[in-house]
Structure 1
Amino acid sequence: MIKCHISRIMGERKLKIVDVARETGINRGTITRLYHESASRIELEAVEALCRYFDCQVGDLFEYQPSDND
């Protein structure tokens, strides 16, 4: 399973979904799905925009965690 840390990062910086969407140009629905970890896919351009906005690496946003089925 891929764990998304955007909610933690946003919480630490006291950011709202609408703020991130406005500043990155990423659709608010996409940010919401990432925030709630319900996204099934994401465009690389969106990942790049998030990394640029948060000044972080991809590994800071996403983490692989083996599931119970592995």
Structure 2
Amino acid sequence: MSLTELSRRVGVSLANLSVLKNDRAKAIRFSTLTALCEVLECQIGDLFSHEPAGK
């Protein structure tokens, strides 16, 4: 699915979706996470990865 299509389905701007995709977001609304998961048919944890500080 393209970012444009995902943006349309989730209801967020393409610019904001690009910020999320490129790991530049400082915060995200829970409603946006929920919408992303509904469209992508995933769980919230599937959207995140964690690397310990300093690595």
1:27 to 13, 35, 39: 13
Higher relative contact order (CA 8 A, sep 6+): 1
Counterpart among 8, 22, 25 of residue 39 in structure 1? 25
Moved over 3 A (4+): none
How far apart, CA to CA, are the structure 2 residues paired with 1:22 and 1:47? 15
Instruction: Indicate the SS of the match to 2:49.
Output: strand
- 1:5 maps to none
Bigger strand share: 1
RMSD: 1.4
Is there any run of 5+ residues in structure 1 with no aligned partner, and where? Answer: 1-14
Aligned-partner Cα distance in 2 for 1:26–1:62: 19
How many residues get paired? 55
Gaps of 5+ in 2: none
TM-score, structure 2 as length reference: 0.86
Deviation, 1:28, is 1.5
Q: Give the residue type in structure 1 aligned to 2:39.
A: Y
Q: Which residue of 2 aligns with 1:63?
A: 49
Q: Percent identity at matched positions? A: 27
